[in-house]
Structure 1
Amino acid sequence: MRPGHAAASRWPGTGTDRVSSTVSTIMCQLLGLNCAAPTDVNFSFSGFAERGGNTDHHADGWGIAFFEDKACRLFIDHESSATSPVAEMVKRYPIKSRNTIAHIRRATQGGPLLENCHPFMRECWGRHWIFAHNGDLHDFAPTLGDHYRPVGTTDSERAFCLLMESLRARFDGAEPSLDAIFDALADVTNEIGRHGIFNFLLSNGQALFAYCSTRLHYLVRRWPFSTAHLIDADMSIDFARYTTPEDRVAVIATQPLTDDEVWTTCEPGELLMFRDGEVARQTIVPVPEAVLERARAGCPSGDRPRTATV
């Protein structure tokens, strides 16, 4: 049995954050796992879900997607993750996957409805693609093609549709390599990122792509494994009891999930590709200074207050 992931050492609570912590508390939060072998997310999700209404106020819906090769199991709910019976089921049901993406929502655009809950799923080249976004995009009304249209009303889903249209147009025909996809993502991320904060996780079941516009952290757990303790729940696990030397897990999150491990703080503009539980490629897609300034000011939604419709 392989639990929610495997362990590492220590994240000091005084980490070197580069933008205001207000950004992560106002907006949504992301969680991703990329693993060398199928792994369950029970431990990490138990802490992450608490931020959806208990230890934080991201209570406008949640979702989680588990890849099984080309296809996905997707669970979404407009209830808060801290109180949702579906979230409770996920905490207790050890679904194993090599790529998992979860999201808890603090609505900025689009009401707290099921169709606006992340992650979003689309098909391309005979595979499911999964996307989740943390941020707020302004003056963003892209012209979309015939293949991908939003179901809900969020800027996030519009960004995903544009991203998928861009990939499909660039590689019309056979499925491209992961390296080619990574290069294409850098281009479209640069285009979308001009409109605002655009932290995201994306996967096609082969790799997990992560972009840090303002705030993202990750760690890689590998042999020899040790224990970890959650920040948001009084829960610890000794990963050495469940893992083998072949296990390796990358955990990506908006905010660190544990208080006794080393978490790497991503640089703004860092685009990463995770494969087999470790960083396979990385590059910088510059974040516009206006976006960084808005984040430093703690105003991810610009000058607009949070409206009564969200």
Structure 2
Amino acid sequence: MCELLGMSANVPTDICFSFTGLMQRGGKTGPHRDGWGITFYEGKGCRTFKDPMPSCQSRIAQLVQEYPIKSCAVVSHIRQANRGGVALENTHPFTRELWGRYWTFAHNGQLSGYEEWATGRFLPVGSTDSELAFCWLLNQLELAFPTPPQDMRAVFTLVARCCDRLATLGVFNMLLTDGDYVMTYCTSNLHWLTRRAPFGQARLLDEDVSIDFQHETTPNDVVTIIATLPLTQDERWQKMATAECNLFYYGERMLWGRADSIQVNDSLAQG
């Protein structure tokens, strides 16, 4: 299996602390030695760093760890290969254009019987089940919404239903973002926490590193972190349920639940 890391924040925020913990699991404290990647959104653009090397040994990962790129939406992944060889083209996250926006996807799990699924104009470059699932998912969205939709709840509901179909083929834990919204789907392991004032201290599980967020934030900051497994030892992480979806919008959880029972954060919907 692989591990995921995502962030949704209401102000541009760096993810150096969380990424420092994740990169140790790429060959040092965990078995995920088959590559890693991370995508940061900045305005309408995004920048991606990938390396088929283990993240714990990667000079590029060290650069990302030490270079505080600030973003409101981040998706990262460390890989333990099961479908597709160890190669740059098989390294997550994957990014494609839809509705004039860059969409980025990363997947933890293993699927079977997916090879014949239609992907339309979204063609896989590598040989992973994950990239093909992403291309199929985008094709489903484009078929349902040929022009950019105004109702993201309808988009989220369709994504949730598509994820339910993908989950019938195996384990499907997912992060998906267009730079504004960060969507999740869980079948086995996915956790999240939201940091907001009053901010406190946190210590990583995989590295002897701690931080006092009070000195790194303002009282109005809201930052949500999503990870396969908790990254810190002294914060309250929430485990997602099987078939649970979440939609985060600039740090806040906007929608959540199963595809047939979506719940809405009324305060955000009214705002």
Same fold per TM (> 0.5)? Answer: yes
Aligned to 1:54: 28
Contact 1:142–1:158 under 8 Å retained in 2: no
Cα deviation, 1:50-98, whole Å, max 9, x if unaligned, reads 0000001100000000011322101111001000110000001110000
In structure 2, the residue matched to 1:165 is 139
Q: Deviations over 1:165-195 (max 9, x none)?
A: 0001100123443212101101211221110
Shift of 1:145: 4.2
Query: How far 1:222 moved relative to its partner?
Result: 0.3
**Letter in structure 2 aligned against 1:185:** V
Q: How does 1:1-310 map to 2 (within 5 A)?
A: 27-285=1-259
Unaligned runs of 5+ in 1: 1-26, 287-310
C-alpha distance in 1 between matches for 2:45 and 2:32: 28
Structure 2 CA distance, aligned partners of 1:281 and 1:231?
29
Deviation per CA, 1:4-52, whole angstroms, max 9, x where unpaired? xxxxxxxxxxxxxxxxxxxxxxx00000000010000100001100000
SS of aligned partner of 1:197: coil
How far apart, CA to CA, are the structure 1 residues paired with 2:104 and 2:171? 19
RMSD: 1.1
* Matched AA of 1:146: G
Give the 3-state SS of the residue equivalent to 2:172 in structure 1: strand
Q: Report Cα offsets for 1:251-275 as digits up to 9, x if no partner.
A: 0000000000000011111000011
Q: TM-score, normalised by structure 2?
A: 0.94
Output the CA distance in 1 between the equivalents of 2:5 and 2:177.
12
Any conservation in 1 of the 2:119–2:132 contact (CA below 8 Å)? no
Structure 2: distance between partners of 1:212 and 1:269: 5
Q: Distance in 2 between matches of 1:229 and 1:54?
A: 18
**Take 2:47 and 2:119, find their aligned partners in 1: how far apart are those partners?**
27
Q: When the two structures are superposed, what TM-score results if normalisation uses the length of structure 1?
A: 0.82
The offset of 1:285, in angstroms, is 4.3
1:301 alignment partner in structure 2: none
> Is contact 1:70-1:126 (8 Å) kept?
no
Letter in 2 for 1:55: T
Residues in 2 aligned to 1:130 and 1:43: alpha-carbon distance in whole angstroms:
22
Higher relative contact order (CA 8 A, sep 6+): 1
| SS of structure 2 residue aligned to 1:257 | coil
Letter in 2 for 1:179: R
After superposition, the C-alpha distances for 1:201-252 in whole angstroms (9 at most, x for unaligned) are 0000111000111111000000000100000000000000121111010000
Q: Which amino acid aligns with 1:206?
A: D
| Distance in structure 1 (CA, Å) of the matches to 2:151 and 2:23 | 34
Structure 2 stretches of 5 or more lacking a match? 261-271
**Hey, what's the Cα distance between the residues in 1 that align with 2:192 and 2:123?**
31
In 2: Cα distance, 1:125 partner to 1:285 partner: 23
- In the alignment, the residues of structure 2 paired with residue 100 and residue 174 of structure 1 have an alpha-carbon distance, to the nearest angstrom, of 22
1:226 and 1:148 map into 2 onto residues whose CA distance is 43
Report runs of 4+ in structure 1 exceeding 3 Å deviation. none
Q: Is the 8 A contact 2:202 2:212 kept in 1?
A: yes
Equivalent pairs: percent with the same residue?
46
Q: 1:268-307 deviations in whole A, cap 9, x for unaligned?
A: 1100001121211012149xxxxxxxxxxxxxxxxxxxxx
